[in-house]
Chain A
């Protein structure tokens, strides 16, 4: 008779056993994910601190391991918030511990990424992690490991030093096994795209061969900090609703709806409750479980709430996105770039905003081969893998007939799509591509079409300009010959003056060129 053993495992243990689902599936991906998680934490911390990030990232090869991949040291320094001393062990030594559980947009969300990176380093090298951090006061340095079985930090050392220069920020240094050579180009591309959507950040990367990659900021301006908001009634589930009921201090359902949810006003609260067949005067605590289910269902259907409050979102904004893309794609004045930030929208009650940029021109065709190059971002994080599985690919390649926009197979085009939301509809824990939620798909499509309409105008004007130039070339070539031979043919010494004719031909060019510069806002924009 076999004995069945029942046990529970800690979250650390779970990720230890299933590290591939968090992006650590192989040695090269591990390097990529580690850099990514730490870089995102640093960017988050700087944004909260409202300082333009200055991030230094270094990957050093320490030794070659028996398995063929190498041991690296990964070090990241930022000038973000820093962490209070007592929070450092948990934040870096406990899975599902963090500061980003509130309802607002951030890169991290699960209290997972940084810790799992440390965990991965630990299980591949058995070396501790070093955290140095300050929130302005003393500098705290922790040397620690993770007690995987119990999901808790194991502090090996803690030193405190004076902070003479009033430094604020965090340094994380850890060792991990990985394979840099295979992921190099993706990793650089990842940092480059990060710089693209964070144009206010300066990022320095020193790679294991000692090469330095520097991504200079193009502006000091940062997008407004998103504010934490109440959930929108469309997106609430029964459990969340029940929790609000249990903690609320409101006395009737009408004020309850207004206080705990966004987008609900006096009249819409009343109308909504009526639609759910609940008396506005009902005391929240007196609701029966079936009433809660009824309310949640009715909330999904009720359409007169205000749109979800986008203040919890942090789109990059047209100006910043333009700066970032111009800088990283090295666009010139002559290239086309149109950025569209759509109005907020919702899927399943989660607010989201789609931003799109289309770049086209000589600089683009020099750097990219013919066809559409897609760059994807979710909450300002570049998505580099599984492109053809995601919603953006589908919107671009399946839903849009590009010939309407004068874009053909050999046209080099870059389309960048940014979706920001309090909940990105990722398909996998690896956070590599977004599922094709119909609302998201529609918004992405609309945004691209917006920008593409401008592109069409630009392309047709460019064609016209090229056409005009060609005309001028042709006249410039033949008129002198006509002058020369008509003079010879009529026995004259002097040639007739063709200047006025050449002027007449070129008259229309500056006009077209001016028009091409001032791209008009098209009717129906952003609607």
Chain B
């Protein structure tokens, strides 16, 4: 059991606890001073979200707002936030985790605080992140688990009951679900020299079966569509702290492109957080060029696809040459292709031919 790991995570826990209590103190004394309580935080409105080319991600601008209980429209979300802070502190105290959905349901017992829907409670949690300047994982709130990781990476748990225990991520052939335990774990060692991120579960399973992790000496991560924050955080850590290059492999359509882009440059929704973007990540396909080069079976781009492509073209994150070039080709050929399209050349083609060629090229 590594003392260092436990102490680091314990320190983070304590400081989270202190900052939550701090919020309570502020509000308490504001009321005692006959003042309607308020909390200062950075504004999350769209005009305060800017793209920072240096960081390669969206960040919040300098504008701050007061979430003020004197305001009739703010008092309800304000109350919800105080409740959520209290709930989060309970989680931290009890060393329990909770999913976003559970937070939403927990509030339902609280008359008057009850959220109208999960998106409302998710929004309040994001507010709390902004106010505390910490990701929700710090106060033990996690999204629903969908994505998975596989490959030679040894992790050390920090979750209660498992502190110090280690596990190698090749131990389970379905991959290991990226939940709170994996997210909060320390990465001890790995023999891999790259990370291969795949959008779809079926392809992930195929790669495991074909031993792509051995062939390419890679860690495999499956995002299950738009990747959750915890997954992005893991990708970020593997790249930044362990120096592993990241290659992203998605469907060849605007939605696939954007899954790759969010991993690389982050999303506007998480502009208040750091440690989620991986600017050095590389999108390796399926490119529009691949559709032509590999003569992949295609479908026509829908109106919606075309609209989305045009939006992406003007998005500041898509300034780079490859992006612009591929978007233009997509628009020109009017076609898209899924990852599975490679099956036309046999089940192993993708591992034997395509991926080696692409990894070589970039």
Contacts and interface: CB of A to CB of B under 8 A. Distances in A.
B125 to A, nearest CB: 15
Given A482-B31, A500-B34, A491 B21 contact: yes
Interface stretch (B72-80, B137-145, B205-213, B269-277): B72-80
Interface stretch (B22-30, B157-165, B336-344): B22-30
B36 interface: yes
A97 interface: no
A9 interface: no
A163 B113 CA distance: 81
A327 B279 CA distance: 80
Q: Say which size band chain B's interface belongs to.
A: 20 to 34
Contacts of B34: 500-501
B31 A481 contact: no
Interface stretch (A135-143, A469-477, A517-525): A469-477
Contact of A482 (B25, B32, B72, B78): B78
B83 interface: yes
Contacts of A498: 31
B362 to A, nearest CB: 50
Contacts of B28: 486-487, 489-490, 492, 496
Interface in A472-527: 474-475, 477-479, 481-483, 485-492, 496-498, 500-501, 504
Interface in B59-78: 69, 72, 75-76, 78
A309 B76 CA distance: 65
Contacts of B36: 501, 504
Q: From A490, A497, A500, name the one whose CB has the most chain B CB atoms within 10 angstroms.
A: A490
Interface in A393-452: none
Interface in B30-45: 31-32, 34, 36-37
A481 B69 CA distance: 12
B25 A481 contact: no
Given A488-B24, A489-B89, A478 B37 contact: no
A501 B76 CA distance: 16
A478 B79 contact: yes
Given A498-B31, A501-B31, A481 B24 contact: no
A482 B24 contact: no
A491 B24 CA distance: 8
A87 B34 CA distance: 84
A136 B37 CA distance: 82
B354 interface: no
A478 B78 contact: yes
A489 B75 contact: no
A501 B69 CA distance: 10
Contacts of A497: 31-32
B318 interface: no
A479 B28 CA distance: 12
A207 B13 CA distance: 86
Contacts of A474: 72, 75-76
Nearest to A467: B72
Contacts of B112: 477-478, 481
B24 A487 contact: yes
A485 B24 CA distance: 8
A222 to B, nearest CB: 52
B24 A486 contact: yes
Contacts of A500: 34
A475 B75 contact: yes
A195 B294 CA distance: 96
B86 interface: yes
Interface string B199-222: 000000000000000000000000
Given A475-B75, A478-B78, A483 B21 contact: no
Contact of B82 (A475, A477, A481, A501): A481
Contacts of B79: 478, 481-482, 485
Quick one: which of B31, B32, B37 has the most chain A CB within 10 A?
B31
Interface string B102-115: 00000000101100
A474 to B, nearest CB: 6
Nearest to A498: B31
A486 B34 CA distance: 14
Given A488-B24, A489-B89, A497-B32, A471 B72 contact: yes
Contacts of B75: 474-475, 478-479, 482
25 contacts: A474-B75, A478-B78, A479-B69, A481-B82, A481-B110, A481-B112, A482-B37, A482-B82, A485-B79, A485-B83, A485-B86, A486-B24, A486-B27, A486-B37, A486-B82, A487-B24, A488-B86, A489-B21, A489-B24, A489-B86, A492-B24, A496-B31, A496-B32, A497-B32, A498-B31
Given A482-B79, A492-B24, A501-B31, 12 more contacts: A471-B72, A478-B75, A481-B79, A482-B69, A482-B75, A482-B82, A485-B24, A485-B86, A489-B28, A496-B28, A496-B32, A501-B36
Interface of A: 471, 474-475, 477-479, 481-483, 485-492, 496-498, 500-501, 504
Please list the 8 inter-chain residue pairs (A to B) with the smallest Cβ-Cβ separation, ordered nearest first: A489-B24, A490-B24, A496-B31, A486-B27, A500-B34, A478-B79, A485-B86, A490-B25
Interface of B: 20-21, 23-25, 27-29, 31-32, 34, 36-37, 69, 72, 75-76, 78-79, 82-83, 85-86, 89, 110, 112-113
